[in-house]
Structure 1
């Protein structure tokens, strides 16, 4: 295997079954270990794969490291409960045959495949051991599930008793791949709504989770809480137009991209609650439309079908104001009517309160008038599954008279009662 292959990994036969978009070490929304990093410690992380197989490998990211990151060892196992794993399932991972590896500064590595049978929807536990001090570590801030840390080499620990600290972030681990050989994966690209804010922590109730359960397809969650389409941020990741390639297009097995982004670009200038983003740029609809067009261009260049989603209602939230209302309306009208996306999900209408279309329906509101709750995310997943089914039917239908317009919008579902 060449050095280039070692860094990026050959995708032949492998399907990305889980992802977390890398972020720079930062204070973040909740306490985390990214800035202090690790020294003579093991980190155990539990993720739920969306494609099964008989072999597993992992991707590790040092995207924001300024020097090589030395990994003393890694293992993968089937999850039992908490930090515990199933006895007999622990597999020590290698990298070009070696147990230790240095991840290049601003680079990534892919492990050798390990023989481990996993099913779609099953949780998998990855453990990393850092003997040398890492310094600040590339991470993903909002995991909405627990990760564990303990002193010393705990790669083979089965009970999980050696882990004495927890956090709700993911560290260094950016993907888990299986030899499923699938090519029908769906990537969801966006901000905190895609990341899963508002869903029940530890319950896998994000709309990416719900979509995987509904469709049986591999689903990649490429959301970052607070992310913007047009601007970088210290806490909220690189801008969407820059990170799409790394966080979606470079993964294997994806054929559809769903885009839901722009709400923070609109709303940060209306709020005083974003401590790392002052002053926030005041953007216009035309700038956001140009950003969406760039995402479409990049994704189509890799042969992906691209589905656009209107922004959810957010009236009454700290992101709402006169300018936000204007730009939101103009952007949503473009997404619906321009015909530039291959299909459209009208989340604005789907999740709206019938008595006030600018606000989330109370049954779908997490409580901040900005993020959906578990029920709202389930409705979003149902809508995506419906559009995916439509696309599959069109591919299989040989009738040239059927409507294959440039964008097929999902009709709003009947309003629910609170």
Structure 2
């Protein structure tokens, strides 16, 4: 996560013209350390996507106008101070955030969009309650004194008084977001939030600092496509495999932040209109800017293999050979190693019976998995393929682990993936 020098220059230029009400100090706290020398680290993340051609209904293309958006996320790191990251990476014009709050989510599974009384904090940006984010940029809020514990849920509320245009968003959230007409950023109740969506909007990160874990730099990024994103898991249950991994680490006394940078439909070497920039391009922006991270798990390539067929949800993409997919992974490994990150490579999970199931695609999957297991290109390997395969039919997901489409695991399958990871190798 980052706030770039480009944004700083753009903000100062716009201040000169009077079109951006943003103090330069809003962009000053962009580095590794927070106030009083405390180190910031990622506690939650989501990779941004363009609203150009979303798959399925959501609010991204029309954006927002005099509306409040409330979004619930679960952090995997503890701290005494909190800040959020907002992004306009794919916006077509400046994004005006009229006001924002962060609060603890109300207790209970029926809480929905309600927040805990006494926990609401007004977010500021350079000591101001409003901010304009230029197109293509990302920024961090000022810190607020809101202590959080790992696995606590936070609710971030954004009030957008004017038209935003198409919204930078994250399509498959496996979580419910809420929308209300007018300004409801400080509401404790969720009564005004009549509309729901299964995507996240403008929100791309939560960071924490302070407390007993301030100096830890051992976070993990799970990077990939829909199987990392958690497609097929139960909504609002936080059962994606990175969630299950974070819980397993905590249960064994090795608590570490786990950040999810999966995008459903994403490819390693092809851009798509609906599933984000190709991995070799977005890796630097999504992963290498994260704070407090030491390890990345790479699970991606099945959409490169299956994307050239007519069943690809967003329409066919150019065919990708195994050699080209391997070179894409080598590029990601080089990028990660250049930043000092350990890389865990993952085999691609079974596809038999799914819309990707063809003899050609299966041969490519098996060849790529052989390379993952034997190449020595990664620092460690996790065999997700064998972890979720049916022993009686290894090209197929075990029925107990199958979400129903024979491609994406369900909750039990994601738990099995988390169990397959060697915690010592992480």
Normalised TM-score (structure 1): 0.90
Checking the alignment, whether the CA contact within 8 Å between 1:270 and 1:320 is kept in structure 2 is no
Residue aligning to 2:195: 165
**Number of aligned residue pairs:** 387
In 2, Cα distance between the equivalents of 1:239 and 1:293? 14
Q: Deviations over 1:89-114 (max 9, x none)?
A: 10000011111101111001100000
Unaligned runs of 5+ in 2: 10-25, 34-38, 250-254
Residues 80 and 208 in structure 2, CA contact (< 8 A), matched pair in contact too:
yes
| Residue of structure 2 equivalent to 1:211 | 245
Contact 2:93/2:165, CA 8 A, preserved across alignment = no
Change (3 A) 1:96 1:302: same
1:155-211 CA distance string (max 9 Å, x none): 110012121111110000000011052311110010000000111111111011111
Q: Structure 2 residue aligned with 1:34, among 52, 60, 83?
A: 60
Q: Give the SS at the match of 2:155.
A: strand
2:412 to 370, 375, 384: 375
Q: Secondary structure at the match of 2:307?
A: helix
28, 31, 42: which one pairs with 1:10? 31
Change (3 A) 1:217 1:332: same
Q: How does 1:237-316 map to 2 (within 5 A)?
A: 237-274=276-313, 276-278=314-316, 280-316=317-353
Q: Distance in 2 between matches of 1:318 and 1:55?
A: 46
- Partners of 1:24 and 1:213 in 2: CA distance: 31
Query: 1:114 matched to which residue of 2?
Result: 144
Question: Which stretches in structure 1 are left out of the alignment for 5+ residues?
Answer: 392-418
Alpha-carbon offset, residue 246 of structure 1: 1.1
Contact 1:8 1:109 in 2 (8 A): no
In the superposition, the TM-score normalised over structure 2's length comes to: 0.88
How do 1:337-416 residues align onto structure 2 when only pairs under 5 Å count? 337-384=374-421, 387-391=422-426
Deviations 1:307-363 (A, max 9, x none): 000000111211121211121111111100010100001111221111221111111
Q: How does 1:18-57 map to 2 (within 5 A)?
A: 18-57=44-83
Superposed CA RMSD: 1.5
1:178 is matched with 208
Whole-angstrom CA distance in 2 between matches of 1:8 and 1:329? 47
For residues 11 and 74 of structure 1, what CA distance do their matches in structure 2 show?
Answer: 24
Q: Mapping of 1:69-148 within 5 angstroms?
A: 69-80=95-106, 81-148=111-178
Structure 2 partner of 1:327 = 364
